[in-house]
Structures are given as structure tokens and as C-alpha cells.
């Protein structure tokens, strides 16, 4: 018998039991849908985070206190107060870090802001006017801080769009005073709507001079972060070296394993994010693959029932000249066609769900989320579903092919 007729015979067999066929492939459909959805959303999330890191630019270097966490115990032993004013001064010295263009210390935390009877809990970021350049965000109304305001511990704030609406509604906010930790801050700027960028929602943040934040809001003498802009992307690695040497000198560290700070470049951050999301995606796919296994067992179960039910048909086919191979191929192909159809439906369903999710995320959550169709994942899903059919269809198909025509014909 030709392959074409194997296919035709198998299709007729499946068509005869339509509703059962549909129910049987449900397990495969769900499994493949889950895999495609996870792969697609994982890719989308990765692209989103990477594009955000990229938007910060390749010339930006972040210095963080403590040790780069390598395990849960490291987190316990991180130093949070190791970056201080003297480090800022040492790094600002051109002879220490020649390629440094701009330097900005950052302190952050949360505090309640009050205007009249309205309150809101924004993320408070103590920065310099340079933040605007790094994050690519500018005031819609008003202006940035001046150097003098930073140096003189001025009580001025630039607020995110949500902070503005929460506190002021539709009223004019510019030049009004809001109260944070008992101090009156003059609103000098209102940022345009930006949404979530990496781990910070800019719309729910208030930016004030870092000096004011250290002294009056958080009462600390250290920085949570120091951000450095390098004059040229090609000098990033040299600058990382320069910063490391400068800070070790400043902290009196001779043994590199005792470093109480770590440095992250955009490229490193992208690599880390890439590997984290890949591992996470892989893990979730593995979990989803279990449902394929369950689906496969379901297929085997139904195929066995089908073989028993169609015993007379098998006997008849053999009496009419079908060989064992003919019968084996018929039932094996039925299983493979079944799972492959399930796979195709799963791919379409998974991609559609992912597409809907991407629309919802970008419309409702205002994320710059792009739908991505996992082409490799689709082929993988197709291959895996066919393989499931082959593996789990083989046993029932062999059972069918071994039936003696006489026994089969006598079967009631």
C-alpha cells in the first residue's frame, strides 16, 4: 500500500470517530499551547527588559554597594553602606578615572507625600539633574534641578505623572508645595508618562536632589548606587578597571575577594537578564512538557480502546489482504495525525493567547511589550507532538497488527 493510502485510510478512521478524536487531542493541544505561550511570553519579557536596559545606553556604568550576589548567603552578607561621599570625590577626580564624563549618586526609598488632604506613597529618588539624560525622561512642564539646588540641599521635587494626578487631580501642580517627611517641597517639574522601566515605575516616582534625600528624608550618609557615564562606549572596560582601582584604594582593599562594591555595565546586565529569562523559560517549558506526557498517555489509552473496538475492522482488513505492516501503519499514522493536529491547534492557540496578552499588556499596563512568535518553538512543538503520537501510538498499533483475522472477525 502506498503512503498516500496509509494516510487516507488513517484519516477515514479518525473521521469516523470525530468527537472522540477531538477529546483525545485535548491533552496535546493544552500541552503545546502552554509551551508556545511560555516561549512567546518569555521572549517578549526578555525583549522588553533588554530594550529598557539598552535604552539606558551602553556608556552607562552602575556601581553598587556590597558583593555581587552569587547565592542566598551572599545576600545576607552584603554591605549596603559602603559607597560614600569620599568615593564620589575620588571617582570625580579626572586623574583617577580619565574617561568619566558625568557622575551621579543615587539614593532611593519610599515615603509619603501629602498635598492638602490627598496622600500618595511615591518612590523617592535622590538624584542630580543627570537622571533625565540617563533614563531618557524629561519634564512635560517645569524644569530640572540646577547644580545650586543640589549643592544647597534645596526642597524641590520633580514628580511622575501618576503622583501628579493622585495628589492634584486636574489642578495645577507646578510651583505648589507637597509635604514629604514634614518638609515642604516645591514642585518644579512634572514628568511625561513613561510607565515601567526595569524595576521602577517612573509615573509613581518623585525625584529630589540626592543631598536633600540623604540629609532630610532618609537620614543616611551613603549612596544606594553611583551611576557613571563614560565619554565613549569603547572606553567602558578601561573605566570599569579605573573605578575598581579607585574604589579599592579609597576603601583600603588589597584582596579583590573582599570587595565591598560591584560594577555593572549595560552589557553585563543584558547578559544576566538574558540568561535568567532563558533558564526560567526553559524551566516552565519543562513543566508544560509534563502535560504532553499526560496527553500522550491519553492518546495511548484511546488508541487501545479504538483498537479493541475496531477488532472486526482489523480482522476484515486482514481477511481482504492487509499485511501486519499495513495494519500497524494505519493505526500508527492515526495516532501521529491525531497528535500533529493537536500540535497545530496548540501552536495557533498559544500564539493567539500570547498575542492577546501582548495587546493587553501594552494597552492596559502601558508596557512597551512586543508580540513575538517563536518560530523555533513552533517547529519544536510540531515535532514533539508528532513524536508523542509515534511513541504512544506504537504499542496500540502493534496490538492491532498482531490480531489474528479469525479471532478478530469472531469478536463481538
Partner 1 sequence: MLIEVKNLEKIYTDEDVETPALRGVSFSIKEGEFVAVTGPSGSGKSTLLHILGFLDSLTKGEYLFENKNIDDFSPREIARVRNKKMGFVFQMFNLLRRTTVLENVKLPLLYSGVKEALWNDLALKAIEAVGLSHRIDHHPSQLSGGEQQRAAIARALVNNPQVIFADEPTGNLDSKAGQMIMELFQKLNEEGHHTIILITHETYTAQQAKRIIRLRDGKIESDEITNHRLRADHFSK
Cβ of residue 320: shortest distance to partner 1, in angstroms? 4
Beta bridge partners of 104: 227
Cβ of residue 410: shortest distance to partner 1, in angstroms? 9
What mask, x for binding partner 1 by CB under 8 A, covers residues 321 to 360?
Answer: xxxx-x----------------------------------
**Helical pair 26-56 and 266-309, crossing angle rounded to 10 deg:** 170
Q: Is 201 exposed, middle or buried (0-12, 13-18, 19+ CB in 10 A)?
A: middle
**Helical pair 324-363 and 266-309, crossing angle rounded to 10 deg:** 140
Q: How do 139-142 and 200-201 pair as beta strands?
A: unpaired
Stretch that binds partner 1, among 71-79, 117-125, 230-238, 309-317 (CB under 8 A): 309-317
Stretch that binds partner 1, among 45-53, 55-63, 320-328, 354-362 (CB under 8 A): 320-328
**Residue 206: helix, strand or coil by DSSP?**
strand
Whole-number Å distance between alpha carbons of 273 and 290: 26
Stretch that binds partner 1, among 20-28, 296-304, 314-322, 331-339 (CB under 8 A): 314-322
Residue 314 or 384: the one with the smaller Cβ distance to partner 1 is 314
Cβ of residue 302: shortest distance to partner 1, in angstroms? 18
Cβ of residue 405: shortest distance to partner 1, in angstroms? 5
Burial 160-191 (b: 16+ CB within 10 A, else e): bbbbbbbbbeeeebbebebebeeeebebbbbb
Question: What DSSP letter does each residue of 45-85 carry, written as one string?
Answer: HHHHHHHHHHHH-TTEEEEEES----SHHHHHT--SS--BH
Cβ of residue 306: shortest distance to partner 1, in angstroms? 14
Cβ of residue 322: shortest distance to partner 1, in angstroms? 5
Tell whether residue 11 is a contact of partner 1 (CB under 8 A): no
Residue 290 or 406: the one with the smaller Cβ distance to partner 1 is 406
Binding site for partner 1 (CB under 8 A): 1-2, 5, 9, 12, 15-16, 312-313, 316-324, 326, 404-406, 409
Amino acid at each position: 500500500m502506498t503512503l498516500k493510502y496509509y494516510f487516507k485510510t488513517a484519516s477515514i478512521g479518525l473521521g469516523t470517530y470525530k468527537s472522540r478524536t477531538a477529546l483525545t487531542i485535548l491533552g496535546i493541544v493544552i500541552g503545546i499551547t502552554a509551551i508556545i505561550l511560555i516561549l512567546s511570553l518569555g521572549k517578549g519579557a526578555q525583549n522588553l527588559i533588554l530594550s529598557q536596559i539598552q535604552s539606558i545606553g551602553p556608556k552607562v556604568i552602575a556601581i553598587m554597594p556590597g558583593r555581587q550576589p552569587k547565592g542566598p548567603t551572599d545576600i545576607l552578607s552584603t554591605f549596603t553602606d559602603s559607597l560614600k561621599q569620599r568615593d564620589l570625590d575620588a571617582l570625580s577626580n579626572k586623574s583617577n578615572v580619565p574617561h568619566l564624563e558625568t557622575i551621579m549618586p543615587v539614593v532611593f526609598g519610599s515615603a509619603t507625600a501629602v498635598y492638602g488632604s490627598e496622600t500618595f506613597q511615591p518612590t523617592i529618588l535622590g538624584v542630580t539633574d543627570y537622571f533625565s539624560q540617563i533614563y531618557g525622561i524629561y519634564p512635560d512642564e517645569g524644569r530640572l534641578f540646577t547644580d545650586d539646588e543640589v549643592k544647597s540641599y534645596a526642597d524641590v521635587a520633580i514628580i511622575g505623572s501618576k503622583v501628579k494626578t493622585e495628589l492634584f487631580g486636574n489642578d495645577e501642580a507646578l510651583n505648589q508645595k507637597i509635604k514629604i517627611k514634614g518638609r515642604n517641597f516645591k514642585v518644579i517639574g512634572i514628568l511625561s508618562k513613561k510607565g515601567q522601566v526595569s524595576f521602577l515605575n517612573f509615573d509613581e516616582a518623585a525625584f529630589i536632589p540626592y543631598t536633600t534625600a540623604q540629609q532630610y528624608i532618609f537620614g543616611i550618609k551613603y549612596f544606594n548606587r553611583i551611576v557613571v557615564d563614560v565619554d565613549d562606549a569603547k572606553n567602558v572596560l578601561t573605566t570599569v578597571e579605573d573605578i575598581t582601582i579607585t574604589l579599592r584604594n579609597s576603601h583600603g582593599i588589597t584582596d579583590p575577594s573582599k570587595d565591598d562594591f560591584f560594577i555593572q555595565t549595560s552589557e553585563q546586565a543584558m547578559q544576566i537578564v538574558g540568561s535568567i529569562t532563558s533558564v526560567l523559560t526553559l524551566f516552565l517549558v519543562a513543566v508544560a512538557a509534563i502535560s504532553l506526557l499526560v496527553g500522550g498517555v491519553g492518546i495511548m489509552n484511546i488508541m487501545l480502546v479504538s483498537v479493541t473496538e475496531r477488532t472486526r475492522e482489523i480482522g476484515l482488513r486482514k481477511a481482504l489482504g492487509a499485511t501486519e505492516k499495513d495494519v500497524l501503519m494505519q493505526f500508527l499514522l492515526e495516532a501521529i495525525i491525531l497528535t500533529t493536529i493537536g500540535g497545530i491547534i496548540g501552536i495557533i492557540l498559544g500564539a493567539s493567547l500570547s498575542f492577546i496578552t501582548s495587546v493587553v499588556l501594552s494597552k492596559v499596563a502601558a508596557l512597551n511589550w512586543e508580540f513575538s512568535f517563536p518560530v523555533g518553538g513552533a517547529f519544536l512543538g510540531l515535532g514533539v507532538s508528532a513524536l508523542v503520537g509515534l511513541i504512544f501510538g506504537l504499542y496500540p498499533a502493534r496490538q492491532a497488527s498482531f490480531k489474528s483475522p479469525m479471532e478478530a472477525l469472531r469478536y463481538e
